[in-house]
Chains A and B, each alone.
Chain A
Amino acid sequence: MPTLERDELLAQLGGYLERAHTGFGTFVFLDGEAGAGKTTVARALAEIAGAKTLVLTGHCDPLSTPRPLGPLRDMAADSDSGMGDLAGPDDRYEVFSEVLARLQHSIRPILMIIEDIHWADAATLDMLTYLGRRIGNTKALVLTTYRGDEIGPDHQLRPVLGDLLTKPDVHRHTVEMLTTDAVRTLAGDRPVDAETIHRVTGGNAFYVTELLVTDGSVPPTVQEAVLARVGRLDEEARAAVEAVSIAPRSMEADHIKSLVGTPSAAAERALHAGVLVGDERGYRFRHELARLAVEDAIPDPRRVDYHRRMLGVLASSDDTARLAHHAIETGDPELILEFAPRAASDASRRQSQHEAVRFFAATHPHVDAMAPLERFRFLDEYQRSLYSVDNQATAGKIAVEMLEIAYHLADPLLLGRAHRTHSRAVWLTGATEAANKEAKKALEILEPLGDSEELVLSLRICAHNEMLDRRYRTGMAYCRRAVDMAERIGFGTEHAMAILTMGTLELVNNDVEEGIRLLERSIELGKQAGAPRVENVAYGMLGTGGGEVRVYERALDWLDSGIALDLAQDHDYGVAYATAWKARIKCEQGKWDEAVALAEEVATYDASVARISPVTALGALGRVRVRRGDPGAEKALRQSIDLGETGALQHIWAPLCALAEMYWLQNKPEKAIELLEEPLRRVLTTDTVWGRGEIAYWMWRVGGLPQVPDNLAAPFEMMITGDWKGAAAEWNRIGCPYEEALALSEGDTEAKFGALEIFDSLGARPAGQRLRRLLREAGIDSVPRGPRKTTLENPAGLTARQAEVYDLVGRGLSNGEIAERLFISQKTVEHHVSAIFSKLGVATRSEAIALTRENEG
């Protein structure tokens, strides 16, 4: 096992070894719980010690009658140790002084490792005391390891520790638990959640490595190790340990008594043996993994019985999560139905959606026992939590179940709700057509019944769908009906949401500032109505809508605000989509490295996650590759388009245009025309000026636009109608350098040179090459060369100039003298010198000079 995070410890121990060389010995107690990695550290030290050190190793064993001086016998058995003849003498003090003499007079320094001294026999403990007091003028490092958590107050090691630790040259070090980062490193490429593993194992190195090779169940090796420890306890203590193992966290002392009837001293004994630890409530296991190991080993009938009885013990408790845990463990459908749904609702209310989903999921197999209406409400809550944690696949299945019940009950209000819920779930899996049909169905069923909350919700969903498809007029019409009805019946939350939808429609199709105003108003209305989540959704709309209409700086702020809110509430769906949009904005701003980093966060498609996130992220990644001329562009863009094909056009017009751009740069305009034909027709049936503008522009670019459509975003329209100057100025104002350069490329020679500068500074190789070719073909000379590549800092090799400077530094010249010699400025010399230093890994001039001496010699 690699020695993660142990470098500092090993460095210190290595330092003691160094001192041993010169005749100054050290005695070390190395403390660490079982599985922490003490043996690994000891072995690593032995390796560092190498051949020039004599390494002696001995072990203490948990035998019922330990061998006297057992570790010494281990060393004696090793023929290289020179300790062979020590096993003989009966007088132990003679033995001790002989050992000491060997440590003092050895030619090579000695590393003596004695492991597990918490199991040491009395004679060995005496020897350690003897040696520890006299270690100072030996040539040895004596390294002992022990489990500090397993030695109770009366353990025989305690007085030895107490005595020796006050002496000079005796030190205690601890092998700490691994951090989450170390777990991540150990996990490598494995698809595991490092945080969960760390939580369950407490960072215990042994548990971590074992858990990494299993599929998540308790590894048999861990179970054996844990049960072995428990097995060493007396019967009462073992019973107490079993009782504690069934609690999700810790168990109070009297509960243990109620459950297994043991006196409180029994749990205390388990505490002293290191199997349990105490906390403010009672007793628990040090590591979750150990708890699972013990619980798993309890035969099922007894285990289930414990859980059942715990429910009685906890009868007056209001900790619904705890009660639900026990109910679920009994496997009894009645008990589960009694306790789990409550815990799920509580968790959901607290915005602990992952926890809520666990409880919902545990209850779901038994829902048939619920009355249909109750079942419907349960499923409704369940799918809402699923939606929050972005598990859209399961949410969809639950929505279908809701539909079945609603039809069975033939209740129009429930039907309306079920269709609406199903509409959303279906939309999130990317099937927009189907989603729209569902939403309209809900409307059909509910309209005849007059004003109702369900009708408001359905109207708003239809408005939402029109907004998604960028249909301004029809969308606004639904919004107004929803707003009016919501106000009439006093449905505060939906009033806010309808205003939010109106704002979004305005923002992306019509009046940007009016849209922002409405969206900000919706946040207020949401707070007034006691629906704080409106704020999250509003930031999402402001951020993504703002990105679409290219008010970038404000959009990024809104996206960040939304992400912060969502993270605090376990709402994964919002975070992924907002991050993907940040990637897209950064791409359009020409900040390509940032765009890639953000896209990479999102771009792995998990089958249950809302598709629009990877569609957007892959679109941004693909576009960066197209513009840089890097490989993998088509692959990323095709993936994005495939994922988003059944969805709303607004999500895929960017990757479609990026692919068209790629064909244009590759001189395959006919492929671009074929690609954009249908999307162009579709987008022209909608009201989004930016979507119409971008698709129309690229169609024009490749020669496939018969006439200029109306209602296009200004800079795109200007480019198509030949106003390259106006377009460039507008792109510059908006902050899209690449598009600015595209516009300038259509201008006069000076403008074209300006475009080249921008393309070069962005690293847009294909566009730059194309423009250069056009200029050459037009007979224009003095085309500026590419950027001076040495503007990049610190190339790995010394450049010729730097080699010159280095040479003069080596000859002892000052920076000023070098500047004179080479006819360059002193500032330039200083720049070169600092670059040289960092390449050589030196910090001072004298070090650098020393290096040149080495090289010459």
Chain B
Amino acid sequence: MPRYLVERTFPDGLEIPQNDVGAAMIARVVSNNTNEAVTWVRSFVIDDRTKTFCIYDGPTPESIRRAATSNGLPIDSISEITVLDPYFYIGG
């Protein structure tokens, strides 16, 4: 399954409270994703929370988009990615 990098912009800043409410939101996102066979791996959020870079596994870019729509998440762009890690080269 390909891995994708999804960039998102939240002009008002993304707020996910660190409590039950936030946990419930996350759980719903994960659950909706499964309808498209999409897995949310991890997200990187910039300092003022207006932009995120999210790593996803999914069958097609369209499945990523459908999952995003069902969760109400905006998409700036989707790129297919592979991992480049310095340790691959330096070894040990």
Contacts and interface: CB of A to CB of B under 8 A. Distances in A.
Task: Specify which of B9, B19, B77 lies most central, judged by the most chain A CB atoms within 10 Å of its CB.
Answer: B77
A65 interface: no
A757 to B, nearest CB: 17
A625 B79 CA distance: 11
B72 A792 contact: yes
Nearest to A766: B77
Given A795-B72, A803-B15, A840-B21, A789 B9 contact: yes
B24 A840 contact: yes
Given A789-B9, A790-B12, A797 B25 contact: yes
Given A625-B61, A789-B10, A841-B24, A797 B2 contact: no
Given A593-B65, A796-B73, A631 B21 contact: no
Contacts of A803: 15, 17
Contacts of B29: 796
A625 B62 CA distance: 9
Contacts, number: 92
Q: How large is the interface on A (under 10, 10 to 19, 20 to 34, 35 or more residues)?
A: 20 to 34
Interface string A334-368: 00000000000000000000000000000000000
Contacts of A529: none
Contacts of A625: 61
Interface in B71-91: 71-80
Interface string A792-830: 111111111111000000000000000000000000000
A802 to B, nearest CB: 8
B11 A788 contact: yes
Interface in B1-42: 2, 4, 8-17, 19-22, 24-26, 28-29
A593 B67 CA distance: 12
B72 A801 contact: no
B24 A632 contact: no
A596 to B, nearest CB: 5
Nearest to B66: A593
Interface in A828-857: 839-841, 851, 854-855
A796 B12 contact: no
Contact of A800 (B13, B26, B66): B13
B51 to A, nearest CB: 10
Interface string A290-320: 0000000000000000000000000000000
Nearest to B79: A631
Interface string A233-258: 00000000000000000000000000
Contacts of A795: 10, 14, 72-74
Interface string A752-791: 0000000000010100000000000000000000101110
Task: Specify which of B62, B71, B77, B80 lies most central, judged by the most chain A CB atoms within 10 Å of its CB.
Answer: B62
A619 to B, nearest CB: 15
A840 B26 CA distance: 11
A839 B14 CA distance: 14
A107 to B, nearest CB: 34
A329 interface: no
A630 interface: yes
A788 B11 CA distance: 7
Interface string B53-66: 00000001110011
A600 interface: yes
A855 B74 contact: no
Interface in A620-649: 625, 628-632
A794 B29 CA distance: 12
Contacts of B21: 840, 851, 855
Task: Specify which of A765, A794, A796, A803 lies most central, judged by the most chain B CB atoms within 10 Å of its CB.
Answer: A796
A629 B28 contact: no
Q: How large is the interface on B (under 10, 10 to 19, 20 to 34, 35 or more residues)?
A: 35 or more
A795 B25 CA distance: 10
Interface in A458-503: none
A841 B69 CA distance: 18
B61 A799 contact: no
Contacts of A790: 10-12, 74
B24 A797 contact: no
A855 B61 contact: no
Contact of A793 (B11, B26, B72, B79): B72
B20 A855 contact: yes
A798 B22 CA distance: 9
A247 B63 CA distance: 46
Given A625-B61, A631-B78, A841-B24, A796 B9 contact: no
A795 B60 CA distance: 22
A840 B28 CA distance: 10
A763 B72 CA distance: 15
A632 B80 contact: yes
Contacts of B2: 631-632
B61 A631 contact: yes
B4 A797 contact: no
Contacts of B76: 765, 786, 789
B36 to A, nearest CB: 11
25 contacts: A593-B65, A593-B66, A625-B61, A630-B61, A630-B78, A631-B2, A632-B80, A763-B75, A789-B8, A792-B73, A792-B74, A793-B72, A795-B14, A795-B73, A796-B28, A796-B72, A796-B73, A797-B15, A797-B16, A798-B17, A799-B12, A799-B14, A799-B15, A800-B15, A855-B21
Given A625-B61, A788-B11, A792-B73, 5 more contacts: A593-B69, A629-B77, A631-B78, A840-B21, A854-B20
Interface of A: 593, 596, 600, 625, 628-632, 763, 765, 786, 788-790, 792-803, 839-841, 851, 854-855
Nearest first, the 3 A-B pairs at minimum CB distance are A631-B80, A794-B72, A799-B12
